[in-house]
Structure 1
Amino acid sequence: MKFVALISGGKDSFFNIHHCLSQGHELIALANLYPQDPNKDEIDSFMFQTVGHDIIDNYSQLLNVPLYRQAITGGSSNQHLEYSITKDDEIEDLYQLLSKVKSNHPDVEGVSCGAILSHYQRSRVENVCDRLSLTSLAYLWQRDQYELMQEMCQNLLDARLIKVAAIGLNENHLGKSISQLFAQLVKLNQLYEVHICGEGGEFETLVFDSPIFKDKKLAVIDKQIINHSNDDVSYLKVKVEVIDKDFPSEYSNITPPDLLTKEFDEILDEVKASPDIKSLSINDTPEKSTVENVYSKESIFSTKTKLYISNLISLETDIKDQAVEIFQKLTEILIHNDLTFNDIQHITLLLSDMTNFTDINSIYGQNFQDLYLPPSRICVETNLKTDIQLSCIVLKHHGNNLKSGHHIRSRSYWAPQNIGPYSQTIIETRESYKLASLSGQIPLIPSTMVLSTEKIEFDSVFSLQHLYRVKTLANVNKLGSIICFITSDKYLSVVSNTWKEYYSGIEDGKTGLGQLVIVQVSALPKNARVEWGGISYESVSSMYDDDDDDEEEKKNEDKLNSLIEKFEVNSHVDVNKDGSMKIVTLFTNESQLVQEALDYNDDKNYIQVVASHSLITKLTSGSGFEFLPVENVWDYKGNHYNYSIIWKLEN
């Protein structure tokens, strides 16, 4: 795609241009924001580097593309992690700048952004890109800083320190290149946790030469060190000129990082070497699902912390009318419970035909387009009587900072950007725990957003790596409930072995081995063969922790444990330290046992029943559950069962 590059003069913005070019994108313009007062070298911006702004004009000549500049008139008025339109904020200056670029270059599609770790910076560029129908290209995002700085040096990026503001760095380091200082920066990182790439604001750079500058570079003709009087900050004020290179640069594309990390590559090797699993079942011929004249019963029930809205359908004949009616129902339920779309944590969207996804998604998106953190989502095609079924988890209001998450729309090497109006993860924070809902991950190559064409073993490991990276970024790391969707039972051995190798290798055998449910559905987004999603958690120390249970609570727990032990396979995790919040995963072939669980639950807790339509009809009561219709259900070992239950117990 044709792209405009946001540049500050620093190493990150220019090295990201190099990556964009290496990915086959075409640079057509540069864009820069500078202080409104030309005599001021630096302003108090949370977003933009302005030291060295007076040499930016030269880069247009070095790259032979037009440069667009805009004065920064706003301030850091909106300091929330996720940005929404705010009057007199510097991000509105960025919007005006990129609007000007798009007006002059209507064919521009992408924006190069050098963000590495800053959610603040990335989310603001994404906000502006969304408003202008552009794609943020952030190939440095979440890269390991040691590897990234080493890569910059190896690719002959002549970036020199122009500002220092960290322990171990002083005015004597100004003007030195990152190659000269690489070893020292690594040492400072080990001693004082100084960011190797300066991501903590420890230093800033200016680029004097790069392989992407074909035949010209910058040379210093004068310099002056400026020391801040009130802190240990110094910067270099330079005058430069454009000079010819002795030899034109021999440009070469940067080799992108391997798709799999070393740890996941080792998992892939083990999966390839693993024997096939024979699916075991009490029934020699597992009952296949058939679509009968049965509708999932709509369910609305409330716990102390959440509202669960399950199995919403519409009997309209036109699929768009069905989507509209379902969202009308959802709106009415939310209003009745004094909640909004912004309170929804997660949505499970089931379709009878994935080819209808585009039409449904357009209506879906209209309801979330103004949210900076839309819900996480899982969307699959499975056997339904209607065309659409929607279930969701809604967070009730209790205290500040209840909801956070990651809604990453940039293209990178990290993990897939969201391909719809949903977040990669939404995190619920309570006094004694955190719960993160994790959107379904398929084996998309993040840098291109093209589906992998590798064998199923690679796709299984690759998509699970995506889920792991989202979970790690959320810093909510323990496995609560994981579901793996496959489109053929031929993939059962692969995903089962992937899970076992992942659990022992990456999770180090900590929690959640038995919390996996493997299911077969008819289709997945983009015709993927495998998708991983689920829930992770962390316990939080609370001043209200109390290990003393009264007699009635102990009786209830004994009764519950007795019921759980009746299931052929059962596994549970305690989400908080006192065990008052549990996630239980159960498997059985007996409908009577599922019925017993539904009767015990009595609409007090979330319970999801995973089974075929034909089997769900054997349940005679229990309206308070979410129904996930599938073709087949297996536990993590590959044993087949008629039913699985995912149960969130909140006492």
Structure 2
Amino acid sequence: MKFVALVSGGKDSCFNILHCLANGHELICLANLYPPPSGSDEIDSFMYQTVGYDALKYYAECIGKPLYSQMIRGTAENKELEYARTSNDEIEDLYSLLTNVLKEHPDVEAVSVGAILSNYQRTRVEDVCNRLGLTSLSYLWQRDQAELMSEMCQSGLDAILIKVAAIGLSDNNLGMTLQQAFPVLSSLNSRFGVHICGEGGEFETLVLDAPFFRCGKLVITEQKVLRHTNDDVWYMKLKVEVEKKVPPLPEKQDWSKYLHEPSLLTEEFQEIEDSVNSVDSVDSVSPVDSLGVLGSWKTNTSHIGNKIYICNLSSYKPSVSDQITDIFTQLKGHLDQYNVSFSNIQSVDIFLSDMKDFAQINGIYKSYFTKPLPPARCCVETNLPTKVKALVSLKVLPELTFKEGLHVQSRSYWAPSNIGPYSQTIIDRNEGIAHLSGQIPLIPKTMQLCTTPVKLSATLALQHLDRVKNVVNYPKSLLLVAYITDECWLQTIVQVHNAYTTNDKFIIVQVTDLPKGAPVEWSGLSYKDPEPDLDEESDTEIKDPQKSVTVFFTDSLEELSTTDKNSHYTIYCKPADLMTDLGNLSYEFCPVCKVYRGDQSEFKYGIVKEEGVM
């Protein structure tokens, strides 16, 4: 893609440009926001590095690409982690800047941003990108900081510390190169927890030269050390000039030689893949049972514990768009009944009769989820009655105060970006459980599908799920559901699961197709250990998420108690096998072709029972 690079002059924004180039993207121009005249080089921006901004005007000459600059007029009006458009906020200055860039370069498709750990920064750039139809490229996202700093030091990046604001750092550290500062920062990290890459605001840098500085480099001609309003914060005021490179460096190079790209699998998941027996993949999907007798599901809603379940919504309208519109009209009525909105929805399961309808369905779907943190989602193709194009079930959080989540839309090495109306996970803090969206084996940096070898793609998709739950600190597996499109994957999926976790709350189901034609998709639930109540006199029982979810397999539904009003059931089975009258039981019907337990035994029904948490 052709991209504009957001530059602050710091190491992160410049190092991310190098990664963008190494991944085949084309740098078109640079963009920068600078502080208003105030008598100070440093303003208290929640978003932008402003110290050393005077040097940025020379970057166009050094790199040989135009630079578009604009003054910061707004402030941090919206301090929420998930950003929504806010008047007079400094993020609207970024929107205005990139809008002007697109007027001059309408072929620009992406934006380079150097976020490492900052969700605050990432979500704001992604919001602007979404509004402008751009893709965020964030290859430093979630990288290990010690590993990343080591790579920067070896990359040919010439950067110095121009601001320090952390315990153990003083004006004596100003002017240090990254190579000189690395051991100091590593020591401070082990002693005081200082972020090695400065992600906690411990320091800021200025890049004087980089491999893609084709035409020149910055040379410092004057420098002055200043103390900020806080006695522990020091920064440098610099004067620089450009030293030309004659002749200029070639515009096209093998940029990968300057980088150490992270391995596709982490060491942990490489060990999992290595432990799995090889299975030859097949080119065609194995036959599955025909629909047979139609199931007898019914739409049902219930409020159990702290969760609202709205399940089995379908329609018999004539067209796909009519059916989805009708389903969401029904859904709106149910949400109104419980006095909640679309923002309260935690997760959505969508079963389609034909994956070719997905684009049309998604176009309507996304119009209902326009605010930050849309629901987690799992979408598969499976057997449905002839005239039914979609079956939809949802879980809803009555209290938005307990809702948290993760919606990463930037392209990186970390995990696939969700460029769409669904989050990687939505958490109910009151329940203590994270609902994880389905993950398929996409290669994150390219968003291309990995299908072979079988054990690699099965392991990669599970690594994506694992990374999501670890980022949000809900690292323990509570439930795993693996969707496969061919039985030849069954043995591999079981082996990968067993190498990953000893948790036996595990269901494997076969369906007819998955997003992008993927052969496997992992989804599920995760949790973290309950935090103990520090009040010794408190008699409140600590909630244990493990006890709220049960998985079992059966060949008959007769053992289900249709009078159980305190539990919700998710039932995976063939449509023809859902013939029993389930009375007023709260249940979601998941139509699939086959159901397997973790020992590869096939059953008619795989059932997840969720007990209400008050």
Task: Give the TM interval when normalised to the shorter protein.
Answer: over 0.9
| Alignment counterpart, residue 589 of structure 2, candidates 616, 627, 644 | 627
**Is the contact made by 1:297 and 1:623 (CA closer than 8 Å) also made in structure 2?**
no
Q: Deviations over 1:597-617 (max 9, x none)?
A: 24252x432111111111111
| Structure 1 segment 59-138 matched on structure 2, within 5 A | 59-138=59-138
Alignment partners' CA distance in 2, 1:99 and 1:402: 36
- State the Cα distance separating 1:618 from its structure 2 match: 4.0
**Is the contact made by 1:289 and 1:612 (CA closer than 8 Å) also made in structure 2?**
no
Alignment partners' CA distance in 1, 2:563 and 2:2: 59
Find the counterpart in structure 1 of residue 532 from structure 2: 541
**TM-score w.r.t. length of structure 1:** 0.89
Find the counterpart in structure 1 of residue 50 from structure 2: 50
Find the counterpart in structure 2 of residue 170 from structure 1: 170
Find the counterpart in structure 2 of residue 448 from structure 1: 446
Alignment partners' CA distance in 2, 1:87 and 1:547: 44
- State the Cα distance separating 1:188 from its structure 2 match: 1.0
Specify every segment of 5 or more residues in structure 1 that has no aligned partner in the other structure, as ranges.
Answer: 277-285, 504-508, 549-574
Across the aligned residues of Structure 1 and Structure 2, the Cα RMSD in angstroms comes to 2.1
Alignment partners' CA distance in 1, 2:209 and 2:597: 56
Q: Which amino acid aligns with 2:603?
A: Y
Q: Secondary structure at the match of 1:81?
A: coil
Q: Secondary structure at the match of 2:504?
A: helix
Q: Does 1:265 align with 2:270?
A: yes
Q: Equivalent pairs: percent with the same residue?
A: 47
Q: Which amino acid aligns with 2:297?
A: S
Q: Deviations over 1:7-46 (max 9, x none)?
A: 0000000000000011111111110011111642011101
Alignment partners' CA distance in 2, 1:246 and 1:234: 36
Alignment partners' CA distance in 1, 2:525 and 2:539: 25
Find the counterpart in structure 2 of residue 531 from structure 1: 521
- State the Cα distance separating 1:588 from its structure 2 match: 1.3
Q: Does 1:337 align with 2:338?
A: yes
Aligned pair in 2 of structure 1 residues 610, 598: CA closer, same or farther (>3 Å)? Answer: farther
Aligned pair in 2 of structure 1 residues 578, 479: CA closer, same or farther (>3 Å)? Answer: closer
Alignment partners' CA distance in 1, 2:279 and 2:231: 59
| Structure 1 segment 322-471 matched on structure 2, within 5 A | 322-368=323-369, 370-385=370-385, 386-397=388-399, 401-430=401-430, 433-471=431-469
Alignment partners' CA distance in 2, 1:188 and 1:578: 37
Alignment partners' CA distance in 2, 1:585 and 1:12: 45
Q: Deviations over 1:170-198 (max 9, x none)?
A: 11111111011111111111111110100
- State the Cα distance separating 1:245 from its structure 2 match: 3.9
**Is the contact made by 1:145 and 1:197 (CA closer than 8 Å) also made in structure 2?**
yes
- State the Cα distance separating 1:536 from its structure 2 match: 0.9
**Is the contact made by 2:64 and 2:215 (CA closer than 8 Å) also made in structure 1?**
no
- State the Cα distance separating 1:102 from its structure 2 match: 0.8
Q: Secondary structure at the match of 2:401?
A: coil
Alignment partners' CA distance in 1, 2:219 and 2:296: 73
Q: Deviations over 1:409-438 (max 9, x none)?
A: 1000000000421000001111xx411100
Q: Which amino acid aligns with 1:266?
A: E
| Alignment counterpart, residue 510 of structure 2, candidates 483, 497, 520 | 520
- State the Cα distance separating 1:336 from its structure 2 match: 1.3
Alignment partners' CA distance in 1, 2:211 and 2:247: 11
**Is the contact made by 1:514 and 1:635 (CA closer than 8 Å) also made in structure 2?**
no
Alignment partners' CA distance in 2, 1:247 and 1:484: 56
Alignment partners' CA distance in 1, 2:468 and 2:25: 26
Alignment partners' CA distance in 2, 1:598 and 1:613: 20
- State the Cα distance separating 1:256 from its structure 2 match: 2.1
Alignment partners' CA distance in 2, 1:546 and 1:631: 47
Q: Deviations over 1:471-502 (max 9, x none)?
A: 00111122222100000111000000000001
Find the counterpart in structure 1 of residue 568 from structure 2: 606
Q: Secondary structure at the match of 1:484?
A: strand
**Is the contact made by 2:63 and 2:212 (CA closer than 8 Å) also made in structure 1?**
yes
**Is the contact made by 1:301 and 1:604 (CA closer than 8 Å) also made in structure 2?**
no
Find the counterpart in structure 1 of residue 284 from structure 2: none
Q: Secondary structure at the match of 1:181?
A: helix
**Is the contact made by 2:568 and 2:585 (CA closer than 8 Å) also made in structure 1?**
no
Find the counterpart in structure 2 of residue 307 from structure 1: 308
Aligned pair in 2 of structure 1 residues 643, 229: CA closer, same or farther (>3 Å)? Answer: closer
Find the counterpart in structure 1 of residue 211 from structure 2: 211
Find the counterpart in structure 2 of residue 564 from structure 1: none
**TM-score w.r.t. length of structure 2:** 0.94
- State the Cα distance separating 1:451 from its structure 2 match: 0.7
Q: Secondary structure at the match of 1:541?
A: coil
Q: Deviations over 1:36-90 (max 9, x none)?
A: 1164201110100000011111001111111111111111110000101111110
Alignment partners' CA distance in 1, 2:230 and 2:62: 37
Q: Which amino acid aligns with 2:598?
A: Y
Q: Which amino acid aligns with 1:87?
A: S
Q: Which amino acid aligns with 1:259?
A: L
Alignment partners' CA distance in 2, 1:622 and 1:487: 33
Segment drifting more, 355-364 vs 417-426: 417-426
Q: Secondary structure at the match of 2:416?
A: coil
**Is the contact made by 2:441 and 2:451 (CA closer than 8 Å) also made in structure 1?**
no
- State the Cα distance separating 1:401 from its structure 2 match: 3.2
Find the counterpart in structure 1 of residue 479 from structure 2: 481
**Is the contact made by 2:41 and 2:50 (CA closer than 8 Å) also made in structure 1?**
yes
Q: Secondary structure at the match of 2:13?
A: helix
Q: Which amino acid aligns with 1:497?
A: Q
- State the Cα distance separating 1:207 from its structure 2 match: 0.1
Specify every segment of 5 or more residues in structure 2 that has no aligned partner in the other structure, as ranges.
Answer: 282-286
